A and B are shown apart, each in its own frame.
Chain A
Amino acid sequence: MLRRDFFKVSVASATLLQTSSLFAAKQETTTNKINKNITKTTIAICGGGFAGLSAAKFLKDLNPDLDVTVIEKKLNFMSCPFSNGWLGGVEGVSYESLSFDYNSAVNAYGYNFINETIIDINRESKTISTNKQVINYDYMIMACGIDYNYKKLFKKDLKKAQEALLKAPPGLQPGSEHLALNRMIKNFKGGNFVLTIPHEAYRCPPAPYERACMIANYFRKNNIKGKVIIVDPRIKPGAKPKQFVKAFEEIYPDIIEYRKLTNFKDVDFEKKTITVEFFDKEAMDYKQENISFEETSIIPPNKANNLVKLANIETYTQGWVKLRQPTFRTVSDEDVYVIGDAQGEYPYPKSAQMANSCAYIVAAELTARLKGEEFDYKNNMPGNVCYSMITDDKSVSITHSYKLTNKVNVSSVTSDIDKITADASKIWYKGITSDIFGL
């Protein structure tokens, strides 16, 4: 298949409203072992997020008889994409519209689904132990996402780390963090709502900037005299910088304060202050300052999910997984693949669309591998599109395309902030969720 086809198929299937039943019909196959006690599978997928569910779906598309098992601990799926719209009170975006059950996907595509917690992975014996059973695999795809690295913020102060997770939820892992943020925003009476961003890489680079816009949007619509302060170590936003700065300065100048070159240092939940270091250009040095807050969301540095460590998979020092170029196979084990946010080999944004796109490539590679065929990575590169909401009815997007020479080269195009992009983002969301959930 040509390189461009993967992105086309990935995006096209994600953006079309799937009303026809090519993939939606229930697949009754000999491998349909839904919720039975499974001990052997060909391909085990750790994680039922965008990456994992996309991989499962694409594998079954390419070979309906393939034995595929997804292992996921959460009881239901909640989307991070569009969650900021819900936090901002955008009409048509509800908690329900972000939530999906796994049943529809399993029924549609006929893969096995184990709703249990992984407690051990033994690559030598090729076994995954959950809290209830042991699964033996031939190939494993780790689509396990991220974990927070609070040690980098608070060193050994576990109590403070736990306090920060509860009182200043980062909102990058779907579920209770978003529910907490929603409560904090909807109950907000006034004052500073401080969002802090780590200088290291984190899931969904535009997320905090989009969140700032959506919180400001909510404050404005509800006449809340609040200020959203963004504490960012960067000199400009780490994603869609021109458009976000335009949003901060032209759309929300009275609400959003963008503190660039400012690093989070500490938080005092009793005094409700955040200590930051900001760069003073006059002095050409960093100075310290305390910012008071009524509510805050502190994003710690991220790293690959701890399942990677459990599986003894090698990572880079920043905590992202090393892969054998140009594949998604780990350097630690040729039979273990990593897709989605946990990988650290390629300059791919940690986004849902990228997870979906890479999942397609891995599904195709594994299918070819099982047939004893070669796979052409060079001509099958992923693609990305990422939307960020700015107001109720305007968004901005960026698309990335990649070319492999002696390294991965990327080119990108960013849209304006407009309604057309907002409309496109809704179609994209509907498409990708319909696709992976078989709706």
Chain B
Amino acid sequence: MLNNTLIKKIILPSLFAVSLYATGEAHKGQTFYYYLLKSKLGYDGSAFAKQHTDKQWIHLFQNNSKDLKIKLLKENTNLKSLLYSKKFDEISPHLEAFVIEYASNKKNAPVCIE
């Protein structure tokens, strides 16, 4: 049985944190990934999103995507100009919505795949 302290101090804030990240649109994030990141990283959006759980992605996108930028630069230093551009700031909410929706701990209703 959950007590009020547990609900107030841990569960509610974490639910609130996840819900804040609904401002972007996942399908746009998928498009931006495809056109701006895929060729530089070498794998598709689904593989990218599945690298982390939703909570891990939230952490990576905090503080102006500080840890995400470090992570991506390790994979390809040619991403530097994009990652520190106004464009990346604009697409970040969508990218974040995309990876959270398709994170490793999420199940998406399937479609016919080939």
Residue ranges of A at the interface with B (Cβ–Cβ < 8 Å): 199-201, 205-206, 233, 235, 238-241, 261, 263, 277, 279, 281, 284-286, 302, 316-320, 322, 344-351, 386, 398, 400, 410, 412, 414
Contacts and interface: CB of A to CB of B under 8 A. Distances in A.
B34 interface: yes
Nearest to A351: B112
A410 B113 contact: yes
Interface stretch (B6-14, B59-67, B68-76, B102-110): B102-110
Contacts of A200: 109
Interface in B2-54: 25-28, 30-32, 34-36
Contact of B110 (A233, A263, A281, A346): A346
20 contacts: A199-B26, A205-B111, A205-B112, A233-B27, A263-B27, A279-B35, A284-B35, A284-B36, A286-B28, A316-B108, A318-B101, A344-B108, A346-B110, A347-B113, A348-B110, A349-B111, A350-B109, A398-B112, A410-B113, A412-B113
Q: For chain B, what secondary structure do more than half of its interface residues adopt (helix, strand, loop), or is it mixed?
A: helix
A201 B112 contact: no
Given A235-B34, A320-B109, A348-B110, 6 more contacts: A201-B109, A316-B106, A346-B110, A349-B112, A350-B109, A410-B113
Nearest to B26: A199
A319 B35 CA distance: 29
Contacts of B111: 201, 205, 238-239, 349
Given A349-B111, A349-B112, A400-B112, A317 B26 contact: no
Contacts of B35: 279, 281, 284
Nearest to A322: B107
Contacts of A238: 111-112
Contact of B31 (A201, A261, A319, A398): A261
B79 to A, nearest CB: 15
A241 B27 contact: no
A238 B111 CA distance: 7
Nearest 7 pairs between A and B by C-beta? A201-B109, A199-B27, A347-B110, A239-B112, A320-B109, A205-B111, A205-B112
Given A206-B112, A284-B36, A284-B87, A279 B106 contact: no
